Structure 1
Amino acid sequence: MRVRTEAKRELILKTAGTAFMELGYEGTSMAEIAARVDCSKATLYGYFASKEELFLGVIAHGVGSAVDPLLDELFASAGDAPETVLRRFGERYLVVTLAPDAIAMKRLIIAQMSDPELARRFWELGPRRYLDALEKYMVAATGAGRLDVDDPKLAAQQLAALYDAETSSGGLFAGGQTFTREYITRIVTYAVRAFLRMYGSR
């Protein structure tokens, strides 16, 4: 009987992530990953039933380790001054999501969006959780008298768009572009100012 371990799962995810980045999704096989992990394909399939499941596992692992703590902290700070909270969150979030490896992974994901089921599951793993966390913050901060938001879902989408306004296209399509901490601070400052003009407490 094979015993699954968390350490082995972590190794598989890390190794698979590197392989997908180097070879692309189509160019990466389960046999290639098994060889890199130094395990049998049967062992690999014991952890992940298919290449698609492994690819989604790589995405979920990256999102969870990097972004989940930020989302938890955001909601916990609903009673604090929104300008401070949203600037801190925006800067930390963009530092993570605009890192070169994160942008490369985003390009890899977009290349697979012709598969509607994969696109849907990626949406559930990443963007939806991000928007849901922002919406949850809008509700809590409005309840605490810190914001004046009557449509939390719309406000969450607008804030996300403001954060991404100067970076989304550049990060994906301008090869080699880097985003300095100073640049991120500037765009987040303007994004939060614009948001609070619409939704700051009256």
Structure 2
Amino acid sequence: MRAKSETKRQAILDVATEVFREVGFERASMSEICARVGGSKATIYNYFPSKEELFFEIMFRSTEKEFEATHEALDPFTDDIAESLCHFGERLLALLFSPEVQAARRLIVSEAGRGELGRLCFERGPQRSLAMVSDFLQAAMDLGKLRQADAQVATLHLRGLLEAELLDHFLFQVPVEVSEEKIRGIVVRAVTVFIAAYGPV
């Protein structure tokens, strides 16, 4: 029974992915997804309580491995905190500024005021990342590798520095090169400023 349920859930996700790609989030409907999958709308709602939940699950499924790998780069026990931050920053920017994630982020921002999508993605993306990076920075502070400070505020400063050179291009949808070399340069500059502010006294 569980295998059958998982097969149905996967079928819904596959069909919903097609519909979202074809018509976008706003124009996509649970009715259309249901018609393509077959069965009743009640069945889809048993798996996914809302269109927002369904969209997020699709996005989550495609990025979760990269999200986990990005945060696994953080090691408070390393001899070189700056190097650990650089590994993290390079992975984070490569993920955030990949074409697929940029498109999803823009959609989320445009839809945020109309439903639960913004809150849902914030809680399971940026807020989750904030907690993980804050834990890392707090551990580094406790080990004397960074000065004592509010770890959550330090995390926000780090994230702001990492995105500073690309954020306006993202917000105004101005094309910009995001090659590995460019990302590496951005990250080194951001981490240099961060360490100047939060390095051990």
Gap runs ≥5 in structure 2: none
Partners of 1:22 and 1:197 in 2: CA distance:
47
Partners of 2:66 and 2:33 in 1: CA distance:
23
* % same residue: 34
Alignment pair present for 1:45 and 2:45: yes
CA contact (8 A) 1:79 1:141 kept: yes
How many residues are paired up? 198
CA contact (8 A) 1:4 1:47 kept: no
Deviation at 1:178, TM superposition (A): 3.9
Give the structure-2-normalised TM-score: 0.86
In structure 2, the partner of 1:61 is: 61
Cα–Cα, structure 1 residues 11 and 87, in superposed 2: closer, same or farther, change >3 Å? farther
SS at match of 2:77: coil
Deviation at 1:64, TM superposition (A): 2.4
Tell which deviates more after alignment, 89-98 or 19-28.
19-28
Q: Name segments (4+ residues, structure 1) moved above 6 Å.
A: none
Deviation at 1:61, TM superposition (A): 2.8
Partners of 1:144 and 1:14 in 2: CA distance:
46
In structure 2, the partner of 1:96 is: 95
Equivalences for residues 24-43 of structure 1 within 5 A? 24-36=24-36, 38-42=37-41, 43=43
Give the structure-1-normalised TM-score: 0.86
Gap runs ≥5 in structure 1: none
Partners of 2:15 and 2:96 in 1: CA distance:
20
**Residue deviations 1:75-108 (CA, integer Å, cap 9, x gap):** xx11111111010110011111111011011111
Deviation at 1:58, TM superposition (A): 2.5
Ranked by relative contact order (alpha carbons within 8 Å, sequence separation 6 or more), the top structure is 1
Partners of 1:143 and 1:159 in 2: CA distance:
18
